[in-house]
Every structure is written in structure tokens, then in C-alpha cells.
Chain A
Amino acid sequence: MRGHRSVRVLAVAAALLVLATACASTQPAGGSPTTGPVKGGTLVFAIWQEPATLAPNYGNQTITGIVNAVAVEGLLRTDTGGNYQPVLAKAVPTEKNGGVKISGDGKRMDVTYELQPDIKWSDGRPFTSADVKFTWEAWMKDPKVVSREGYEQIESIDTPNDLTVLVHYKTIYSPYLTRFGTIMPKHILEKVADISASDYGRKPLGTGPFVITDFKAGDSITVERNPNYRKKGQPYLDKIIFRSVPSREVAVAQLKAGEVQGMWNLIEAQLPDLEKDANIKLSITPAPGVERIEMNTAVNKDGTDPNSVHPVLGDINLRRALIYATPKQQIIDRLLFGKARVGSSPVSQGWAAPKGLTQESYDPKKSNELLDQAGWVKGGDGIRTKNGVRASVTITTTTGDQLRERVEQILADEYKQIGVELKISNMPSSVLLSASWAAGDPRKRGAFDLDMYSSTPAIDPHQTVNLRYHSKQIPYPGNGGNGQNYTRFKNPEADKAIDEAGSALDLEKRAAAYAKALTLLNDAAVCIWLYERSAIEAFRTNVSGYAGQVWDGITWNTEDWYMKGTAPSY
């Protein structure tokens, strides 16, 4: 009797398992290969981050842009070479083609955009210059938009006719091409009192190849072909479903199982496994983000005086010794499977990346020589001292990041060998990277020795270079904590070069000015540029047409994507 009962329990369990097997899905079989783009099909694309909003004006997550790029377009976009190409505009306005005119004694500028005729919003209404003007107005009126950078510099916008936009800037705003990257539909939003609370947050209407038709929070976002799309016969796909998955690992598992046909954002450590899978193709492109260590040259103290001198890191010889003792290539080979590049500047990609700029490469012998010469003497415990100050510093990075934690361990080991003690004290990213004086970002307040994090410049690096390396941008109590020059780097020549680069329009001149500023920055030895990462996406081999690029997400050209073989029949 006793045994009988438990047998029955087992039998039920077995029956459940059989049932589960019977219900299990079968994979769609691959059809005969054809050449050229094929029309139709639903592509399921895994995203391991959930876009909180799809509205371009409120979204600051990368994933917001990845999803809304299929529906929302701007006047211009970048191609795979990093060059601007017109989208809704007819041409890229430059000084040469008369699109940009300097006025007001060389202190102001006017930019003219001629728009493409016959462009329609996905609901069939015509797209006109009024929409462009409305976008700027909406951006300036709404207190909840993420950043007003570049729109704040606009004085007014004229729309002499439906296809001409004349933008009057208050100053010479050199990164002007980066603006109007997303245009909002006036005919829908002008009647809405608060756009943030409207449907636009989840289903922004645009002119792009797809229309966002369904937003299931935490589950999936469905986009369908835009019948009014300007390119005839495109997009090729009927539908894209962005599927929310809990992690990169699950996305990889689903990709291997064929449950999804593409996935966003892999890390280097996942590559060796995926490279072996014959059903998967990888898209690997250099990414502009650079992982760095910043060294605080002022005293490590809450609300530090920018003119104070850090007892250890205030010595340029010690800072340079740390750079020499940092085994960048070894970190890349051991922790990133050789899939990253050694860093040499905060601007690694594009026209502004300083060519030929390098940083001291790994040479611990030089470190020891430098420290010996500078009077740092090794004590009994192997750690150097000078005038009673121990060469002991603390590194801080974001908690829970395995890669960064392992880098810290390597560094602690390497630095110890040159007689510098490295202590580790990490913080949640919501604190370390809050960029808010009020929220207690230790970088802002100067309460750190070394910090390690990554920052990504935009295609026009001015904001990044100015905000992080101009001496006016050193945060301290006196300026309300403004600016992000966390190393407290001060160099009048560099300031001058940055100012020049920000007020010129000629790209060659600007690039030369940035190169000068960034060379001076490296001479000061305040940052260690660890490595430049890659943007990695993966697809099933039956998907084609995608093209990874540096300045835009993988979904920048979904109108060209297509799937071969039998598409899953939904």
C-alpha cells in the first residue's frame, strides 16, 4: 500500500513529463536558399534590457534607441563609415554647400535644411518643416526631456515653406549635425498637454520602416511594416518582435535554440562559445566607449579644493609609474579574449580620434626607475614611502561587475610589485556614476583616489572633451558641483585648444585642436586608458542585411534586413 501510493505519484510525474514533451515546440525547417533580399517573415530579436520608454526625448537607455530606431527617423544619420548621410533632409548642410552660414560677426550661425518631398508619417499625414520646428519647441518646453544639449543653443527656427527649415543658433555650435536625430509628429503631439503621459512614450509615431503596434511591458514589443515608408518595396521583413529576456545568457540560449533570430549586445567572454556554432553569425564593430582609470590629483576629501594636492597621486612620477605598471594587453588577452583594443585616448573612433596618440605601454621596470628617482623608497613591507607618506591608494569601481573586479585584482598585484599598495573599495553604480553632487557621486565631490568606469563620447566629442577635461569643469562647492573634470586636470593650453575646437566648424581644424588637448592630457598622466570595447551582436545565419556601425545601434538600417529560408509561421 505504502509503495503503491508513491508509485502513483511517480506515474503522475512521468505523465506530466510526457505531456510536456508532446507539447514541446518543433523548430521551423530551413528552406531552399535563394539569392537577394526576400520579402516577408517575422524576426524575433532578443533584448536583455527592458526599454522603460520608447520616446526619444525621454529615453536615456541605449535600448530605447535600439528599438525606436525602426520607427523614428531624423534629418540625418551616420553610415557605416561614420559619415553623415541625409535621411529626411535632402543633403547634409555644410559651410561648403551653403547650408551653414556664419552671421553676427562670426559669433552666430544659421543652418538650412532642405527636406525631401513627399515623405509621409506612418499614419499617412505629410511630413513638413513644421514638424522639425515643433520638435525643437517640444524639447524646450518640456521639463522632463533628458538632455537639451544643442537645442538650448538655438535662438529660433524659421519655416519659410513646407520643405525648408532655417535654424538660427545663438552661438557657433559645432556639433550641429548631431541634432534633429529624431523628429516628432506635430499633428499628433501639438494637442497633447503632457507628452510624457501620452501614448507617445510607448508607440512613438515616425517615418521609419516600421510602425510600433504593440508594447507588452516586460514581455515584447512588436513592430510591423510601415505601408507609407518612403523606400519602395522596403522594408523586407513583415514584422520584428523585440523580445524581453532576463539576461544575455538566456538570449544566447534562445538564439542557439532558434527561438530568436537575433540578439543585442553580447560581451567578449561569450564569443569563443558562439564562434563555434555554425548556425550563428556575429556582427563585431569597434565601439566608442573607453574603459579608463582616472586619478584624483587633488586631496581625497568630500568637497575637495581643486587646488589642493593629493599626497600620493599629486606626484606626476607616481601617476606615470602606475600607467607603466598597467598591463593593458594582458588584461585584454586574459579577460576579454583578445577582443578589445588597447586604449590611448577618450576619443577612440571617428574624425576627432587623435591619430598616432599613444600612452606609455606596460614596462614595470620604468615604473621602478621613475619612483626611485622621485624619492619614493621601498619600506620593509615592500611599499614605498616618501616624506612619511605611504604609496597607498584606493581604487573604486561599480560593484557586481565581475570583469572590473578581476581587473582590480590584476592591478593590485602589478602595483604591489612596483611598491604601490592598491586597496579596493567598490560602490554601486547608482552612487559612483550618479554624476550628481547632491546624490554624493564621489568623483564629483573629489572623495576618491582612483576610479574605474567607462564613458562613451558622442560622434561629435565636444561635450565629452569639454565637460571632462576643461579646467572650468572642475566640480567643487564654489560652483555648485558643476562639471565632470574628475581628475582636476588643469592646463591653460588644453583649455584654449578645447575652446577652439568647440567654436570652429572646419572638421580638420577641430580634429587638430582636440588632438592637441588630448595629447596634453596624456602628458599630464591623469588617466589610464585601459581598453576600447566592441559592439557585438549575433544573428542566425538565415538573417542578412544588417550592418554594424560605430555611432549607431545595430537597428539603424532595419529596412535592409531580410530572412532567408522558411520564416516561422505565426
Chain B
Amino acid sequence: MNRYILRRLLQALPLLLGISVASFAILKAVPGGPLAAYEASPDITDEDIRRLEHAFGLDQPVPIQYLSWLGRFVVGDWGYSFVSHQPVLGLIGERLPNTVYLMGTVFVTVLVLAIPVGVLTAVKQYSWFDHVVTGSTFGFLSTPTFWLGLLLIIFFGLQLRWLPLGGMATPGAAFDLGDRLRHLILPVATISLVQLGSHVRYLRASMLETINQDYMRTARSKGLGERIVVLRHALKNAAIPLVTVVALDIPELFAGALVTEQIFGWPGMGRLFWDAATRLDYPILMGILAVSSTLIVLANLLADVVYGYLDPRIRYA
């Protein structure tokens, strides 16, 4: 097992390097550049633009720019934003807790709701409950978050005035748990409703497959109660595929929700990435992309390892 993990980790290195080359190349292929927005300043001259290009190393050939970024990145110098001149690590550091707070809540909410709802829809297949849940999860799954988020804001924020329109807390107010929670409800609901759709459908399909297995009939004929049959015998096996889905949610804890954070003015990683992308602020974009891709690779590895642990039929050589 340890050798397997080590091998996978070693394999990940060239993969991550490839991802970083591709990311950099794609960012560089975007026309324009980080200095584009400087034209807004009526004072800026061509000499100013050239001086700034030189100061940021943008006058170097692209491969050199990449190598110098990589060289500094691996020793922990993630560079400075071209726009705010703040260190990238610091910018990520101040946004990360906000994103973990939002996405962590989503993560827990989705899990807590998806398991019982998924099990119930499978057990009560073709029931009234199943039809409503399957129909609505399919609906939410197909709803773009930006639209759902705006709809929730209009309804609960503007029409009913129950919940704040955005942000993480009332500005200037002292810490207040109720206030924090009220700001949390709409963004969490937006992301959760969409994610819940996929998780419930996954679990339902997997449960249905398990319920019809022979050992389920055996368990029932042993005289076990329906509750124990479903929870201990069926769910345990049916949840295995869900592990993969849940493990792949982990990178989102870091990356945040690009669209939802933007709509709700949430000061997290998604918004940092968005703002950096609109300005083509390479150091920030590369920093976030590097961490995200590493987390995705690690989450995949984690899913595979846990999978093998949960299902003894799977052996790693």
C-alpha cells in the first residue's frame, strides 16, 4: 500500500509540471496583458508601459518567464501581484479562511442532506417523495448557479428582506454569530442545491443497484429489521462510489466558488481568482492554479486509497 502511494505521488510530479506549463501557456495565449487596464490613466505614456513591462519581466520571452516563475515557486517565493503588488501567498492566506468557511459549510450541508435523501429515494423508489426529489434535484443540477443565486437574492433579499444581499458580515459591526449565519444562508443554499443534485442522484443509483443484490435478500431472510438491512448492509456498500465524488469536492474547499462568490460579494478565493483573471494577473492565477491542481491530484489519490480500504475486493499492486 505504501509503495503504491509513493508510486502515485512520484507519478504526480510530471503531471503537475505539465499542468503548470499548460496553465501558463493558456494564460499567455490570452490576448492583451496585465498592463491593459493601465490605459485608463490619462497620464500613462508609452515609456511608462515599457518601464512597467520591464519591471514585471513581461519583456522576457515566454519560456523564460515561465522558468523564472517555476524556479521561484518551488522554493516558496510565489511572487507579487502585478496590480496590487501584494505577495501572492499573503493574498491567498487572507482569502482562504473565508472560502474554507463557505465551502466547508456547503460540504457538510450537502453530505448531511444527500445521504438520508439519497437513501430514502432509493428505498421508496417511484414513490411520491422519490418523484419530487428526483425531479427537483435534476432541476437544480441543471440550474446555473449565477441564475439561482440571483433568484434567491431577489426573493429573500429584495422582496422579503429576510436576508442580507451579500458580503460576509454587516460592515463595521462587532462579531455576531447570528449576523454571520444570516450572511451564510444564501450562498450556501445556492451552491448546496446544485451540488446536492449530483450527490443524491449518485447515491440513489448506487443504492438501487445494491438493494437488488442477493445478499440483501439473505440479510432480510435472516430476519434482520429493514432499518438494519438498509443502513448496515446496503448503505455501507452503496456509499463507496460516493467516496470518489466527495473526495473530488475537497479541492473546492480551497478553490472556492467562482461564480457564487462573485454574485454574493464573498471575499474568498473564487473572487480573488476572478479579479486576477480579469486583469490577467499571472502570479496570482498561477499560484491558485498550482495549488488547485495539486489538490485535485491528491484528492484523486485519496479517493483511490479510501476506496481500497472500504472495498477489500480492490487490491493495489
Give chain A's interface residues, CB within 8 Å of chain B.
2-3, 5-6, 17, 20-21, 23-25, 42, 44, 50, 52-53, 55, 58, 60-62, 143-144, 146-150, 152, 196-197, 201-202, 216-220, 222, 239, 241, 243-246, 250, 253-254, 257, 259, 427-431, 433-436, 438-440, 455-458, 463-464, 467, 480-483, 568, 570
> CB < 8 Å: which of A58, A216, A250, A456 contacts B165?
A250
Question: Which residues of A are found within 8 Å of B170, using beta-carbon distances?
Answer: 25, 259
- Complex: how many Å from CA A222 to CA B171? 9
B129 touches A5 (CB 8 A): yes
Question: Which residues of A are found within 8 Å of B47, using beta-carbon distances?
Answer: 148, 152
Question: Which residues of B are found within 8 Å of A440, using beta-carbon distances?
Answer: 31-32
Pick out which of these stretches binds chain A: B201-209, B240-248, B263-271. Answer: B263-271
Considering residues B31, B42, B51, B178, which has the most beta carbons from chain A within 10 angstroms of its beta carbon? Answer: B42
Question: Which residues of B are found within 8 Å of A435, using beta-carbon distances?
Answer: 36, 38-39, 44, 46, 49
- Complex: how many Å from CA A129 to CA B100? 48
> CB < 8 Å: which of B38, B44, B84, B271 contacts A149?
B44
A217 touches B32 (CB 8 A): no
A52 touches B83 (CB 8 A): yes
Known: A144-B52, A250-B165. A436 touches B41 (CB 8 A): no
- Complex: how many Å from CA A241 to CA B173? 11
B41 touches A430 (CB 8 A): no
Is B33's beta carbon under 8 Å from chain A?
yes
Question: Which residues of A are found within 8 Å of B214, using beta-carbon distances?
Answer: none
- Complex: how many Å from CA A50 to CA B182? 23
> CB < 8 Å: which of B56, B85, B153, B275 contacts A201?
B85
Question: Which residues of A are found within 8 Å of B46, using beta-carbon distances?
Answer: 435, 480-483
A456 touches B42 (CB 8 A): yes
> CB < 8 Å: which of B85, B127, B181, B272 contacts A197?
B85
- Complex: how many Å from CA A109 to CA B87? 41
Is B316's beta carbon under 8 Å from chain A?
no
Can you list 21 A-B contacts with CB-CB less than 8 angstroms, sorted by A residue number?
A2-B124, A20-B156, A20-B162, A23-B178, A53-B86, A60-B44, A149-B44, A197-B80, A197-B85, A217-B91, A217-B272, A218-B266, A219-B267, A250-B165, A253-B165, A259-B165, A428-B31, A430-B280, A436-B49, A463-B42, A483-B46
Closest to A243 in B: B171
> CB < 8 Å: which of A60, A216, A241 contacts B41?
A60
Closest CB in chain A relative to B281 CB, distance in Å:
8
A5 touches B120 (CB 8 A): yes
If over half of A's interface residues share one DSSP class (helix, strand or loop), that class is named, otherwise mixed; here it is: loop
> CB < 8 Å: which of B33, B40, B83 contacts A62?
B40
Known: A144-B52, A147-B43. A24 touches B36 (CB 8 A): no
Give chain B's interface residues, CB within 8 Å of chain A.
30-33, 35-49, 51-56, 59, 80-81, 83-87, 91, 94-95, 98, 120, 124, 127-129, 132, 153, 156-158, 161-168, 170-174, 178-179, 181-182, 185, 262-268, 271-272, 275, 278-280
Question: Which residues of A are found within 8 Å of B32, using beta-carbon distances?
Answer: 428-431, 434, 439-440
- Complex: how many Å from CA A61 to CA B159? 34
Closest to A249 in B: B150
Q: 16 extra interchain contacts, Cβ-Cβ under 8 A, other than A5-B129, A250-B166?
A: A25-B164, A53-B84, A60-B44, A143-B55, A144-B56, A149-B48, A218-B265, A218-B275, A241-B172, A254-B166, A429-B32, A430-B278, A431-B36, A436-B35, A439-B33, A440-B31
Closest to B266 in A: A218
Closest CB in chain A relative to B262 CB, distance in Å:
6
- Complex: how many Å from CA A456 to CA B43? 10
Question: Which residues of A are found within 8 Å of B268, using beta-carbon distances?
Answer: 218
A220 touches B38 (CB 8 A): no
Closest CB in chain B relative to A347 CB, distance in Å:
11
Question: Which residues of B are found within 8 Å of A61, using beta-carbon distances?
Answer: 37, 40
- Complex: how many Å from CA A44 to CA B165? 15
Known: A53-B85, A250-B265. A24 touches B162 (CB 8 A): yes
Question: Which residues of A are found within 8 Å of B262, using beta-carbon distances?
Answer: 246
Question: Which residues of A are found within 8 Å of B94, using beta-carbon distances?
Answer: 217
Question: Which residues of B are found within 8 Å of A568, using beta-carbon distances?
Answer: 172
Question: Which residues of A are found within 8 Å of B59, using beta-carbon distances?
Answer: 438
Question: Which residues of A are found within 8 Å of B98, using beta-carbon distances?
Answer: 218
Question: Which residues of B are found within 8 Å of A152, using beta-carbon distances?
Answer: 47
Closest CB in chain B relative to A434 CB, distance in Å:
4
B182 touches A257 (CB 8 A): no
> CB < 8 Å: which of A250, A254, A439 contacts B35?
A439
Question: Which residues of B are found within 8 Å of A244, using beta-carbon distances?
Answer: 167, 265, 267
Closest CB in chain A relative to B169 CB, distance in Å:
8
B264 touches A246 (CB 8 A): yes
Closest to B49 in A: A436
- Complex: how many Å from CA A149 to CA B51? 13
- Complex: how many Å from CA A61 to CA B59? 23
> CB < 8 Å: which of B120, B129, B267 contacts A218?
B267
A147 touches B48 (CB 8 A): yes
Question: Which residues of A are found within 8 Å of B265, using beta-carbon distances?
Answer: 218-219, 244-246, 250
Question: Which residues of B are found within 8 Å of A218, using beta-carbon distances?
Answer: 95, 98, 265-268, 271-272, 275
Closest to A427 in B: B31
Closest CB in chain A relative to B86 CB, distance in Å:
6
> CB < 8 Å: which of A5, A42, A434, A481 contacts B39?
A434
- Complex: how many Å from CA A56 to CA B94? 23
Closest CB in chain A relative to B19 CB, distance in Å:
24
Question: Which residues of B are found within 8 Å of A58, using beta-carbon distances?
Answer: 84-85
- Complex: how many Å from CA A91 to CA B151? 55
